[in-house]
Amino acid sequence: MAAAQLPQFTDVAAEAGITFRNTSGSAEKRYIIETQSAGVGWWDYDGDGELDLYFTNGPADVENPESGTGNALYRGLPGGAFAETTAQTGLGLKGWNMGCAMADYDNDGDSDLYVTRWGPNALFRNEGRSRFTEVAAPAGVADPGWGIGCGFGDYDNDGDLDLYVANYVEFILHGPPFFDRWCTHTGIPAACGPKGFKAQRDALFRNEGKGRFTDVTETAGIAEPAYYGMGVVWGDVDLDGDLDLYVANDGQPNNLFRNEGNGRFTDVAQLSGTAFSGDGRAQAGMGVALSDYDNDGHYDLFVTNFAQDYNTLYRNEGKGFFTDVSGAVGLAGPSRPYLSWGTFFFDWDHDGWQDLFIANGHLMPAIDQAGIGISYRQRNQLFGNAGQGRFEDLTLRAGPGLAPARVARGAAYADYEGDGDLDIAVAHLDDAPALLRNEGGAKGHWLLLRLRGTLSNRDGIGARIELNSASGTQHRQVCGGSSFQAQHDLRVHFGLGSDAVVDKLEVRWPSGVVQTLRQVPADRNYTLTESKKSSILE
Amino acid sequence: MGWTRTILPALLLLCAACSRGPSPEAQAAFEQGTGLHQQGRFPEAEAAYRRAVELAPEEARFHYQLAVALHAQGRFQDAEAPLQRAAELDRSYLPPRIALGKIAYDLKGDAALARKHLQEALDLDPRSAEALYTLGVIEQREGNFPSAVERFALIDSSASAYPQAQAQIGQCYLQSGQLDQAVEALKKAIRLAPQEPGPFIALGQVLSRQGKTREGQLLLARAEQLKQQFAQLQPYLEALRRNPSLAPPHYNLGAVYARFGQMRPAEEHYQQALALDSSYALAYQGLGSLAQRQGDQTRALDYYQRALAKDPSLAEAHNNMGLIYHQQGKLEEAAREYQAAVQLSPDKGFIYVNLGNLYKDQKQLDLAYQTLRQAISMDSTLTGGMELLGDVLALQGKVKEAIAVWEPLVRRQREHRELAQKLQRARDLLASEGR
């Protein structure tokens, strides 16, 4: 596609009224705890139909966790503006906050919020009318570890959302094993870790209903071994009707927990080919995305990794096996100079093929002085997918919003303007976030679908959608977790190219209900309520 | 992809472009740099190399060594310019081209540029294992599997990268779906480096894709075992890294390898311990143990005798010699060795078990019984000793007592079929006597 026809991203955060600025300890980042507190999530907390934004934050002073401004909530307003409502809602949590997940865990019709932290995580139950109550402890999900990634997913298909938390390392400020020592990386001072720290085990919480969860980590078979957990995504990888779980681990094998349907999981990552790179190495996994990038009906996995290594695309070959195709599709080489975090597949230009966004930024402020040719501030990347089996680096042709080099962490997509295309929010360390508005270009037709469960969980997480149009078939899942410390817009987005009508839209709910719609006009935002009796798009 | 192992070859290379040679002052600065480099004083080495370059700017190897010092400090981007200069000055100089190839891919992700540099290196030396391996890895990561396999396959079997290259061939075949070829290559990789977990994992994946999931899982289990062994090796490897010139760290590491059944590295480290200290008796004992496990009794006895010549107090050597003589039917010699072992180490129950077994074979059943009872009283975990006690009781006609000894053992060791059969025969005998 010619440059003039490409949709462009423009950073409109300031213009939209977002004044939040992240803090995460000291500028020099002596301690590993200071390197990650920048998450972002899209949700509609007040049910007004406008998407809102939540940013996680760290303290300004590493010695004082209560310093700094805390997390921030911005309410979406018509026309694309935002107004801060942190104080009114009481969601300005202070401390070392990392990731977030938003979903209706109690199925009462409004979206709740879970925040991972260093220390007990927080669960804010939405009471309606912009009021929240922090209930993590009584709910049984105040996991005390250093939580990074998290995600809601109904793994036992009982209609309510369970919760998975990926925990990182056992960190004690000024404590063992490193105390106040600097470590070195390529000759420069760097925060120590994660190697040398004890890994903390992740946690799986089963929703028992009535606002309570049970820690089933041991009985589910996923407690050991503990790894340095980072990104998390729930998805039905083997298409057997229940949710599996993929966890990206830092410097250790990734996990692919196959749901056995009896409350237990089996880690099949090594046998399936998703634990290591294609040449057999454990990589420093950060963020993760699950999607069918090649439209073959199987869901593929993408994991972001460290600089001087490549981000890994595992193509799902079916029958439980994956192949590392990163190099073959053109993603390996271009990722080597970058340290990558938040990531997702999304159809940026509505051509029916999912493109790829990657948020980048290094860990070590002093890396610029190392003389290795890698910088602390890094540009994010956009790779275009035209369905030819390769991704093309379109970063420099996709607008001014992708030009700046910053220190990104969490990234999430949403159609916040309601114009049918997907925009992006990126959280930056010690910096303002970016709100990348997707505009212009010769975009094709589109369709947005919000799912409202009745037998299944209310957000429709775990639902699989198949869309048939004149150009072909596309598949989507509503995934819990995903990216890095981020929450996407839970609506399902399709780019339709030149197809103005969808021939067939089939939704498979976690409950087993299947709803089929035909001849659906494109370029609209629909809601489908789960029903055995009828299928009506609102 | 580290390239410091090219230092020595680089030092030995003559600079073809520098027919006049550097001045004595420049050479002195260069040698000073080399000395500092070998001591790990990289910033100072860098300064010395810079002086050498200033004094002799046409010396390709001076530029290359400066780059190596910069690389050792992690300053890869800074190393690029002197590498390029070295390559320009000497068209036949291999190491800078390999290094430039690595930088091009590692830091910039520029596969095309990396290929260009590495192909230049291969044009100079088509058999360069480092260039072949590096290019193979790049092709593999870029998804060009046939090209990767071609490169890896050209690596000579004498090169240190050969086992890893074979493993990567297997990975390439796996990634490209050529499963039968992957099996062959990975099995070869495992034969070459049986302590590396990677090929086991890859082979496990291949077998799983071929429908042999159970076999695949067994291979994964083996890989996990190797990883755990490697974790246990770490403190010994670290001790060796800190004191490479002392015999004990080599011996200790060898002993751990021996415990894991990794005979070749065990032997290498025992031999290295002896090379550093020819009086290190434990290393002889260790070599004897390895030979014994491999069935070479003559060599084992020789090593044990040498160990005892250095240190007569090695009870284990006496004990192991006793075992060999016992197997050879030389019962008196065996008794002599076991008794010596018992005298030197009177608290080791397993030596009493061996002695009791010998007495049994000598038909000295009362003595066998007493000796085995003593062994068990010292160490109740000696299940072999308990079984032998039962054998002695049975030989003494005390079938009921033999059964009483064997029954709890059979419950604990359900997989021990021979013992279960022995117990059943004793029960049958008792039952028939009762009729």
Q: In this structure, what are the phi and psi dihedrals at residue B68, rounded to the nearest 5 degrees?
A: -65, -40
Q: How close A269 comes to chain B (CA, Å)? A: 10
What is the separation of C-alpha B342 from the centre of its chain, rounded to a whole number of angstroms?
Answer: 33
Q: Is the Cβ pair A373, B76 closer than 8 Å?
A: yes
Q: Is the Cβ pair B142, A373 closer than 8 Å?
A: no
Compute the distance between CA of residue B316 and CA of residue B325 in angstroms, rounded to an integer: 14
Does B228 touch chain A if contact means CB atoms closer than 8 Å? no
Q: How close B219 comes to chain A (CA, Å)? A: 10
**Quick one: angle between helices B213-242 and B197-209, nearest 10?**
170
pLDDT in tens, A420-448: 999 999 999 999 999 999 998 888 999 99
| pLDDT above 90 coverage of chain A, percent | 94
Compute the distance between CA of residue A47 and CA of residue B411 in angstroms, rounded to an integer: 66
Q: How close B411 comes to chain A (CA, Å)? A: 29
Nearest CA among A201, A379, A356, A197 for reference residue A288: A356
Residues of A in contact with B216 (CB under 8 A): 271
- CA–CA distance from A219 to each of A142, A210, B24 (Å)? 19, 22, 74
Does A331 touch chain B if contact means CB atoms closer than 8 Å? no
Compute the distance between CA of residue B375 and CA of residue B382 in angstroms, rounded to an integer: 8
Classify residue B397 by burial, with Cβ atoms within 10 Å: 0-12, 13-18, 19+.
exposed
Nearest CA in chain B to A370: B75
Q: What is the pLDDT of residue B435?
A: 54
- Give the model's confidence band at A100: pLDDT under 50 very low, under 70 low, under 90 confident, else very high: very high
Q: What is the pLDDT of residue B244?
A: 86
A residues 133-192 closer than 8 Å to B (CB): 185-188
CB A164 within 8 A of CB A202: yes
Nearest CA in chain B to A339: B107
Sheet of A381-385, strands arranged across: A340-346, A355-360, A381-385, A391-393
Residue A187 scores a pLDDT above 90? no
pLDDT in tens, B390-402: 999 999 999 999 9
A residues 338-377 closer than 8 Å to B (CB): 370-374
Residues of A in contact with B205 (CB under 8 A): 270-273, 321
A residues 253-282 closer than 8 Å to B (CB): 270-273, 275-280
Residue B1 scores a pLDDT above 70? no
Of the residues A198, A252, A254, A279, the best mutation for testing chain B's interface (the one with the most B CB atoms within 10 Å of its CB) is A279
Q: What is the pLDDT of residue B8?
A: 43
Nearest residue, CB atoms, B109 vs list A271, A278, A334: A334
Q: What is the pLDDT of residue B195?
A: 86
Nearest CA in chain A to B197: A280
Q: Is the Cβ pair A327, B75 closer than 8 Å?
A: no
Does B201 touch chain A if contact means CB atoms closer than 8 Å? yes
Q: How close B69 comes to chain A (CA, Å)? A: 12
Lowest-confidence region among A49-58, A389-398, B255-264: B255-264
Does B208 touch chain A if contact means CB atoms closer than 8 Å? yes
Q: Is the Cβ pair A280, B73 closer than 8 Å?
A: no
pLDDT in tens, B356-389: 999 999 999 999 999 999 999 999 899 999 999 9
Q: Is the Cβ pair A278, B201 closer than 8 Å?
A: no
Sheet of A501-508, strands arranged across: A472-477, A464-469, A501-508, A514-521
Average pLDDT of the segment spanning B418-424: 92
Compute the distance between CA of residue A20 and CA of residue A92 in angstroms, rounded to an integer: 12
pLDDT in tens, B22-72: 999 999 999 999 999 988 899 999 999 999 999 999 999 999 999 999 988
pLDDT in tens, B128-175: 999 999 999 999 999 999 999 999 999 999 998 999 999 999 999 999
DSSP 8-state symbol, A409: E
Compute the distance between CA of residue A63 and CA of residue A174 in angstroms, rounded to an integer: 10
Average pLDDT of the segment spanning B75-101: 94
Lowest-confidence region among A297-306, A463-472, B101-110: B101-110
pLDDT in tens, A213-250: 999 999 999 998 999 999 999 999 999 999 999 999 99
| Cβ contacts of B146 within 8 Å, gap of 6 or more | B176
Sheet of A40-43, strands arranged across: A82-84, A72-76, A52-55, A40-43, A486-487
Compute the distance between CA of residue A20 and CA of residue A43 in angstroms, rounded to an integer: 17
Q: Kindly give the residue spans of alpha helices, DSSP state H, lying in A132-278.
A: 136-139, 269-272
Nearest residue, CB atoms, A279 vs list B73, B168, B208: B168
Q: Is the Cβ pair A372, B107 closer than 8 Å?
A: yes
Q: How close A366 comes to chain B (CA, Å)? A: 12
Residue A411 scores a pLDDT above 50? yes
Compute the distance between CA of residue B435 and CA of residue B428 in angstroms, rounded to an integer: 11
Q: Is the Cβ pair A337, B111 closer than 8 Å?
A: no
CB B171 within 8 A of CB B202: yes
- Give the model's confidence band at A186: pLDDT under 50 very low, under 70 low, under 90 confident, else very high: confident
DSSP 8-state symbol, B396: T
Q: Which two tokens stand for residue A227?
A: 């790894």
β-strands A445-452, A524-529 pairing:
parallel
Residues of A in contact with B206 (CB under 8 A): none
Q: Which two tokens stand for residue A478?
A: 């509503």
Residues of B in contact with A325 (CB under 8 A): 143
Nearest CA in chain A to B165: A279
Q: Kindly give the residue spans of alpha helices, DSSP state H, lying in A98-238.
A: 136-139
**Quick one: angle between helices B197-209 and B179-192, nearest 10?**
160
Q: What is the pLDDT of residue B412?
A: 85
Nearest CA among A453, A438, A277, A274 for reference residue A346: A438
DSSP 8-state symbol, A199: B
B residues 322-361 closer than 8 Å to A (CB): none
Nearest residue, CB atoms, A327 vs list B70, B141, B198: B141
pLDDT in tens, B207-252: 999 999 999 999 999 999 999 998 899 899 989 988 888 999 999 9
Q: What rounded mean pLDDT belongs to chain A? A: 96
Q: Is the Cβ pair A372, B77 closer than 8 Å?
A: yes
Q: What is the pLDDT of residue A10?
A: 98
CA atoms within 13 A on the CB side of B9: 12
Residue B11 scores a pLDDT above 50? no
DSSP 8-state symbol, B168: H
Nearest residue, CB atoms, A280 vs list B78, B144, B198: B198
Angle, vertex CA A166, rays to CA A54 and CA A35, nearest 5: 65
pLDDT in tens, B169-209: 999 999 999 999 999 999 999 999 988 999 999 999 999 99
Residues of A in contact with B142 (CB under 8 A): 327-328, 332-333
Does B167 touch chain A if contact means CB atoms closer than 8 Å? yes
Q: Is the Cβ pair A336, B144 closer than 8 Å?
A: no
Nearest CA in chain B to A325: B143
Nearest residue, CB atoms, B175 vs list A275, A323, A373: A323
| 3-state DSSP percent of chain A in helix, strand and coil, to 5 | 5, 40, 50
